[in-house]
Structure 1
């Protein structure tokens, strides 16, 4: 029997103030809903692994592609995302910004926790009927390879919405102060009614509503402790429903689009791979080697984290998946050595932004496709900027740990280093196996994680001989929960990005930037600020599709090299994507790390300033981006 490992951190607590005892009928209902969602969610993760690996082996070994594999994987993926979101809601694992909630008095905290549930329920009630209509409309669409109606996939959204609503209602019914719960529901209902009454006034404000909803409403909800996905969703619904003639049903389509990109399937696959690495003792072997090599240096594993993110970046095509592949390996040992949780998640998030230009980067591929810049040049130009930012982050690590009392080991003899390297070799080979599979065309970025999973299972069974089958089920459920929390945020953010696109904001921004004073330097400076903001709300690919064709020609007219400008843009968006309070990537890092977002707010400031300084260096010195171009 293998002992259970120490958890990275305690899970984010559920909303307190519950009156129901574990034996009450409410608790029994919630337990039943838990079984109803957790078991299918675990089976869906397992099914995705089997489908993707079967696709790889059939195509590469037997030269007979399974033509319906991608369609089936996409169908199962949306169900996985929605069931995972339900599991995450039941476990209280949806990301919340609790910096202010934690500092409030117990009474105020209870009210804010109640508000979080009521706000989530409000969003779900508002989208329930549009989600049903979306699924009905998809009934007329046929999946070409499988020759079945797309309703089998689209139905996942309304089913997931209803299940989360049921969880929210049970949570409200079990709240200790029924009178307070009723008054909170009434207050939110009156607020929604007041906004509907003000619709003519709001519609006349034009793009000022962008500030009202996407800055004011989002900021208020996020800092009140409303889960990030529901805060984004409510702001988008409010903006579209109250200020535009567009039906709110389009939000469901955009949500479906954001959650259905097949490349995102690598997120749950790499989350599960990270759990397997720990379960099979591969993580221990790698950490033992790294500890023998750098254990005598203060903050040594922080440097390893920066380097590891550089090495694995781009393998999966998803930053969330990259972080999921690294954090479970390093965080337990970092915590054992005295690293603070907030600093760990802050560095993980910052290293995600640092590696945005490392090929094969989907953002760089998108830039090349929409602007005509050579993708090979972009890949070549992206390597050195990643190193520059890694050095900047390392300087912050050195500064913070220079006088730290964090535990360090005595410098290991080279004989010990060699022995631990030999033991760790099968585990250390994993990232090279994964990257080689992508480069050699064995598997796509989505499929390659399954090769890593099979490799890890084999190494655990036959080399390290440590594999606890009883932990597979909980690991599958944990994978679904974390993935659902991340993917729901991405879906909500996609809807918000679409709303910004439809507002005409992009054209107005391009017109303003065309007439900036200061020439190339002024244009680069404003581009950095603008893309940090855009990265926090649009993410990389939507922002590039929207602004790339408009701004890259302006940069070229000002004498800025296309590749250099691409690096500045990508890194700036990376800062926005991973910087709280709006950056989706930051919450993905928190979800993967199982660390509350409030823990990382203070330590991440120094890392983000280092990234900003590095981005400015790349803007000032073109050589970093174009020095190795032919």
Structure 2
């Protein structure tokens, strides 16, 4: 993906002062140790309960403490790496001369929020001194202290990044713009206090929209709008915002986020993902469009385990794209299909989006894991139909069919990898482990398979993998915290009641509600991505779906697939540009071929929405 703004951010972050590097190294080591401790604690909990029948009653408390520290330290490292999620479709189209301005604006906006809430985070942690945990009998301040420490670290790292990107008058102007806007809102607080419900439009549409489209990280866009709304238009203390962020990030079910992310990295490091791809290529590579079918199937098997669509695509594309190009596939067609498979497989367990829905909406994660398989398969069949139509004229004269003996050999090699998704689902459904704990079983399984079967296990990479896991998880969890606070503010304002009344009065009853939900979440997915959109709007729409008698698992599948469609649909879908970056293809080349796949996905989504059985059949069976 060609992006002057993104290149400027990355190049600016390449030269850092020694104190910045030293602090980052210390934080990274602590983060890696915390991540290791969480994995070991969860695994020990499974072993103690299932093998020794002696549950560790204190493990949840300790995991909760470590988890909040992990989330905040990961957020700090993400701020240093400039890897907090952001929507760059607009700013990337600007002239390269504006790159310093956009970079400085994005960093300054986040820095403004952090500076404004630092003392509130300190006071919030101080109040937790009065709370004592029941099992370990330690002060809650040990856990809550992660919030002010993490925010302080983000401030330090953001200042260093701002110094690096502020290289000309435009970047200085960006800092001045942010400072002027903060001051203007503060001066206008008497007017805003009397604006009533208009403030919802000003902050949650105007401020959020302006920040998101200006390239400000999504988490800080949500957080700034919520802070402004609470501080300037209500009497709610800012510590309430910190409390809601804490609550949003502290669901123990969200521990599945970092552990599944680490599991995905293990799959790549041990060669398990590559073994799956090689088997599928040997099985189908000789037919017309065979490697395209392999791409669809491989993404179905791998997707969801890593917690990152970019990681899923990066595991598959390098193994297939060179050979597909040799067989005449055009670069635009490759990234178009890669993007479409990314959208198609959003419901394949163990999807982090499904874990988030289960945590935030109170839906059974086991049911979501069971319900997500068939909807993604239906959309995959639609993609295969498009592949079949487009590959009718493929030249297969130079393609040899592998002997069945070789195919079976590849199958036996790939079998441990192919079995992993089924092992994970069976462990959850059979009650061996919770959805939070099951990832640690997958980690243990992958380590054993990597050492004994694939003979590919680089111990030297483990620390960096742990740190990368913490960084990605921190970025995800900080969004969840910010979106949770924003959703709470919207609920307190009465917006949720008005929305419920409006949605329930739509013509067509539940079918009309589903149709509106599809359109709304396609749009939200293109702007906000899946997790922030779910955390922000899920608490508003899921209760309406329950009132209308829509099965919550069925509705979850419709919502997730809709967001996936928006996430990978150009011109705004950031997932599409990620696929182009992984494939090293100009985004313009994939614009035309992707629409056939998007139409196929939309038809498949309509089928899933119209036939609830597709989302619930395995739940009844399990």
- Structure 2: distance between partners of 1:363 and 1:236: 21
User: Structure 1 residues 624 and 37, CA, compared in 2 at 3 Å: closer, same or farther?
Assistant: closer
For the 8 Å contact 1:350–1:604, the answer to whether it is kept is: no
Q: Deviations over 1:296-342 (max 9, x none)?
A: 41412331145326xx76xx8xxx73858855642432444456785
RMSD, matched Cα: 4.3
Deviation, structure 1 residue 625: 6.3
Distance 1:429 1:580 in 2: 29
Q: Which residue of 1 aligns with 2:328?
A: none
Matched, 1:229 2:214: no
1:184 aligns with 2:138: no
Question: What does residue 4 of structure 1 align with?
Answer: none
How far 1:579 sits from its partner (Å)? 2.8
For residues 263-295 of structure 1, what are the alpha-carbon distances to aligned partners after superposition, in whole Å with 9 as ceiling and x for unaligned?
Answer: 221221122122222222223322211221233
> Which of 90, 94, 97 pairs up with 1:100?
90
Give the whole-Å Cα distance in 1 for the aligned partners of 2:361 and 2:95.
Answer: 52
> 81-90 or 156-165, which moves further after superposition?
81-90
Closer, same or farther in 2 for the Cα pair 1:304/1:179, shift >3 Å?
A: same
Deviation at residue 496 of structure 1 after TM alignment: 1.9
Which of 470, 481, 484 aligns to 2:474? It is 484
Q: 1:575 aligns with which of 538, 562, 565?
A: 562
Within a 5 Å distance, the mapping from 1:379-528 to structure 2 comes to: 384-395=374-385, 410-518=400-508, 521-528=511-518
- Give the deviation of 1:156 after TM superposition: 0.9
Per-residue CA deviations over 1:531-563 (Å, capped at 9, x if unaligned) read 66688687547755544444544x35xxxxx44
Q: Structure 1 CA distance, aligned partners of 2:397 and 2:147?
A: 48
State how far apart, in whole Å, the 1-side matches of 2:316 and 2:370 are.
29
1:115 shift after superposition: 0.9
**Any conservation in 2 of the 1:142–1:150 contact (CA below 8 Å)?**
yes
Matched residue count: 598
Correspondence 1:46 to 2:39: no
How far the C-alpha of 1:428 sits from its partner, in A, is 2.1
Report the Cα offset of residue 566 of structure 1: 6.0
Per the alignment, in what secondary structure is the counterpart of residue 26 of structure 2? helix
In 1: Cα distance, 2:135 partner to 2:388 partner: 54
Could you tell me how far 1:627 is from its partner in structure 2?
Answer: 8.3
For residues 406 and 625 of structure 1, the distance between their equivalents in structure 2, rounded to whole angstroms, comes to: 38
1:299 to 285, 292, 296: 292
Shift of 1:356: 8.6
Whether 2:607 is the aligned partner of 1:617: answer yes
1:270 aligns with 2:260: yes
Q: What is the rounded CA distance, in whole Å, between the counterparts of 1:205 and 1:65 in structure 2?
A: 54
Counterparts of 1:368 and 1:274 in 2: how far apart (Å)?
25
1:351 aligns with 2:337: no
TM-score (norm 1): 0.81
The 1-side partners of 2:438 and 2:517 are apart by 35
Consecutive unaligned residues in structure 2, runs of 5 or more: 326-330
CA deviations over 1:466-497 (Å, ceiling 9, x no partner): 22221112111111122112222222222222
- Rounded Cα–Cα distance in structure 1 between residues aligned with 2:416 and 2:553: 37
Match of 1:333 among 312, 319, 327: 319
Distance 1:352 1:13 in 2: 29
In structure 2, what is the Cα distance between the partners aligned to 1:153 and 1:326?
33
Supply the distance in 1 between the matched residues of 2:176 and 2:469 (Cα, whole angstroms).
36
* Distance of 2:338 and 2:197 partners within structure 1: 35
- TM-score, structure 2 length as denominator? 0.82
8 Å CA contact retained: 1:357, 1:364: no
Q: How many Å apart are 1:437 and its aligned residue?
A: 2.2
What does 1:153-192 correspond to in 2, within 5 Å?
153-175=143-165, 177=167, 181-192=171-182
**Which residue matches 1:15?**
9
- Does structure 2 conserve the Cα–Cα contact (< 8 Å) formed by 1:385 and 1:567? no
- Offset of residue 191 of structure 1: 1.1
**Which residue is 1:91 aligned to?**
81
Q: Deviations over 1:23-63 (max 9, x none)?
A: xxx61121112212111111111111111111112222222
Say if 2:337 and 2:597, in contact at 8 Å, map to a contact too: no
Q: Is the 8 A contact 1:130 1:252 kept in 2?
A: yes
Determine the structure 2 residue equivalent to 1:212. 202
Please list the CA deviations of residues 114-134 of structure 1 after superposition, one character each: whole Å capped at 9, or x if unmatched: 111111111111121111111
Q: CA deviation at 1:113?
A: 0.8
Are residues 105 and 484 of structure 1, via their aligned partners in 2, closer, same or farther at CA, if it must alter by over 3 Å? same
Please say which of residues 396-405 and 100-109 is displaced more in the overlay: 396-405
**Alpha carbons 2:487, 2:539 under 8 Å: kept:** no
Aligned partner (choices 225, 242, 246) of residue 256 of structure 1: 246
Structure 2 residue 230 is the aligned partner of structure 1 residue 240: yes
How far the C-alpha of 1:165 sits from its partner, in A, is 0.6
Note closer, same or farther for the CA distance 1:442–1:587 as it changes in structure 2 (3 Å cut). farther
Q: Does 1:144 align with 2:138?
A: no
1:132 & 1:375 partners in 2: Cα distance? 34
What is the correspondence of 1:578-593 to structure 2 with a 5 Å cutoff?
579-580=566-567
Q: Give, in whole Å, the separation in 1 of the partners of 2:420 and 2:410.
A: 16
